[in-house]
Structure 1
């Protein structure tokens, strides 16, 4: 079998979406003649933990670990809450304290490209020895954190090998990058590192077509699109909620606040007694103060059910039970290439997806092409209300379903086969 080294910061027991992509690739690669060797940090400072994911690590997979120094541990002395939020890429745009402003400035200007950069120095000699000893010919780096790509870059310079750089999110164009209070000099350094990685790798992988097009303007290196997906053994089929549950899985942060949706729901509640009795708004994950304020201002407090962070297994279960699954992205040109990993699990749950995001949103295109829900701009009102009323009527009749099509190409096994062909 062909042996491939996968270098990733996120690995169980890390929770959240960042861990899923390569955990599943590692699971299915042996079926296609690829033997994955995984390299991860020994003592990472993960913002979210999900110990249930440890059970999903394939038995017998070869895993190497190397210690990492992360300044977030020291920043947490000043403010554990703010440190956790910033390390997760959650950055408020308003009401920032002086401490938060200072922490953002330090994060953006002292830790380039990110605060996990100190893993590079110890990882390169360790992996260099492993590559030489085992005569390994292919490495894969996946970011964010994009400092992981610097490990691949240095190994490529030392050895005759193929280097694939996988981008789960964009680099300098990702939404939170502009909020880091960068100096002009730091902006140039970030851009220069991005260019050097994009032009140094043998193959680039992106999760959205928009990011692929963005990178094509920077490099002539080959770029392939491999989206995220849903696990092949995960499909819909559960007892649905008796209530008209609109469920959002994951963080609903400042900026992801679809105020028109709250206004529409508020109006329907006032006009429709049955809707008022049946509505339930469920949030699994972090919900920002801005979103909560908007919900309360629109009189939706009685319908809110906050569940907090739950395990991935529990999230999958709730997706199959909810009547409607809510997907929200920031309404910005910078976010149209963001395709949340949960989209594909939503699709596999076979529940209608109510999606709100920017114009020409890649995720919206996928939803419409697969007939798995409906997509709205933030400014829409009348059509949003009409669709919600149609779905509510179908729910009352026990007929709220989706006629999804061609979603199997987004299964993890199918996507891993695509990856194996590139390898």
Structure 2
């Protein structure tokens, strides 16, 4: 008889975005390793992005439990639907450009909803799941955050039932970039740190997605910490043909601070200096892009060379990855973001499209790209090197020799990663 593991997650199809993929794929492959997943999700969530196509990826034999959740973001929509959607999706405008409503919402979110806006789901979930766990002989509970309030469900279940509890952190807690933008009072910041410490010191095992986060958490807890990155899954896609134009594509959200002036500047210079480059180059923006980033891009790149595609389904995003000539991966230039490894990186690596990444030095992303030979990584102030690389890539595109030669990708397959998870369970 397979072992049962209860997975507590907020993001689940039809939610869109990268937060869904990790546990959707773990659930897909866990039965191959003798584990039956039971997935606990909110009945009436407020998802900022939807992707109905992901419903097709849910395994037929998975057990899914649902309970109602109180969603403050739905109430906030009464005052400003756009501000609520923007903040809930993680796109926080710069302080100087925040409206009064946005400032108020950020203050309320940071100081009254600790650790996050889904805190009201904790108490009823603990009550419901305590009975379910006893009745169905659940052996392991796994919580995944953000939202980090879900870890509090695991904390209380551990205290009440003494069950084995694994806490999965897709992102850090108190050191993630947006945490500093929540206008936290000293008291609120202290509460976050206290909750984080409780989780890190009580969970039987902690899973993180990057080496830098492992280092951070290992300094805060004596509990074992294991790195299980995100990964790629094999997808049946229609045959794709590379874009005829020299397309440089960014897929995913571009937050206000994910905005490398050096990149936009050198692309603008190449457009000005080479008429043939200007004729064929296009910057494809696929996903949510903040106004701050768009305004900066338009300072250097003409509208004729910009294609704003907007949000697309996951399957459509995979097609764009394969069609484009280069793939951009951009992270905020901050010490706090060295540990962030976007889930799309692993899909980029198997897309047979070279990656151009821009971010902070010594990041986990830099190490992965170098070790897999899937692209080049640059700092925010590497203008000459970045310009030279983009131009050499353009020259290779003209000769039809622009390609990647990756190595060691199998370790990042979803099935291989799930085998590692199954070992912990």
TM-score range with shorter-chain normalisation? Answer: over 0.9
1:75-94 aligned within 5 A? 75-93=76-94, 94=96
1:216-365 aligned within 5 A? 216-233=218-235, 238-365=240-367
Distance in 1 (CA, whole Å) between partners of 2:235 and 2:99 is 46
In structure 2, runs of 5+ residues without a counterpart are none
- Larger CA deviation: 234-243 vs 344-353: 234-243
CA deviation vs aligned residue, 1:293-322 (integer Å, no higher than 9, x gap): 112111332111111110001001110110
Corresponding residue SS for 2:386 = helix
Distance in 2 (CA, whole Å) between partners of 1:300 and 1:170 is 37
Distance in 1 (CA, whole Å) between partners of 2:414 and 2:381 is 34
Equivalent residue for 2:177, pick from 175, 178, 190: 175
Distance in 1 (CA, whole Å) between partners of 2:414 and 2:237 is 12
Distance in 2 (CA, whole Å) between partners of 1:380 and 1:135 is 56
CA contact (8 A) 2:231 2:346 kept: yes
- Larger CA deviation: 309-318 vs 231-240: 231-240
Corresponding residue SS for 1:262 = helix
CA deviation vs aligned residue, 1:257-294 (integer Å, no higher than 9, x gap): 11111111111111111111110110111111111111
- Larger CA deviation: 93-102 vs 35-44: 93-102
Corresponding residue SS for 2:226 = strand
CA contact (8 A) 1:322 1:351 kept: yes
Q: Identify the residue that residue 9 of structure 1 maps to in structure 2.
A: 10
1:237 Cα deviation from its structure 2 partner: 6.8
CA contact (8 A) 2:210 2:340 kept: yes
1:232 Cα deviation from its structure 2 partner: 3.4
Distance in 1 (CA, whole Å) between partners of 2:191 and 2:168 is 21
Q: What is the aligned length?
A: 423
In structure 1, runs of 5+ residues without a counterpart are none
CA contact (8 A) 1:295 1:301 kept: no
Q: Identify the residue that residue 102 of structure 1 maps to in structure 2.
A: 104
Regions of 4+ moved over 3 Å: 232-237
CA deviation vs aligned residue, 1:220-244 (integer Å, no higher than 9, x gap): 0000000000013469973111110
Equivalent residue for 1:125, pick from 106, 124, 127: 127
CA deviation vs aligned residue, 1:93-141 (integer Å, no higher than 9, x gap): 2311222111111000000000001111111111111110012110100
- Larger CA deviation: 135-144 vs 95-104: 95-104
Distance in 2 (CA, whole Å) between partners of 1:35 and 1:299 is 51
1:158 Cα deviation from its structure 2 partner: 1.1
Q: Identify the residue that residue 370 of structure 2 maps to in structure 1.
A: 368
CA contact (8 A) 1:235 1:350 kept: no
CA contact (8 A) 2:228 2:417 kept: yes
Distance in 1 (CA, whole Å) between partners of 2:25 and 2:214 is 22
- Larger CA deviation: 288-297 vs 329-338: 288-297
TM-score relative to the length of structure 1: 0.98
Corresponding residue SS for 2:259 = coil
Equivalent residue for 1:192, pick from 181, 184, 194: 194
Q: Identify the residue that residue 64 of structure 1 maps to in structure 2.
A: 65
1:184 Cα deviation from its structure 2 partner: 0.4
Distance in 1 (CA, whole Å) between partners of 2:330 and 2:145 is 22
Q: Identify the residue that residue 42 of structure 2 maps to in structure 1.
A: 41
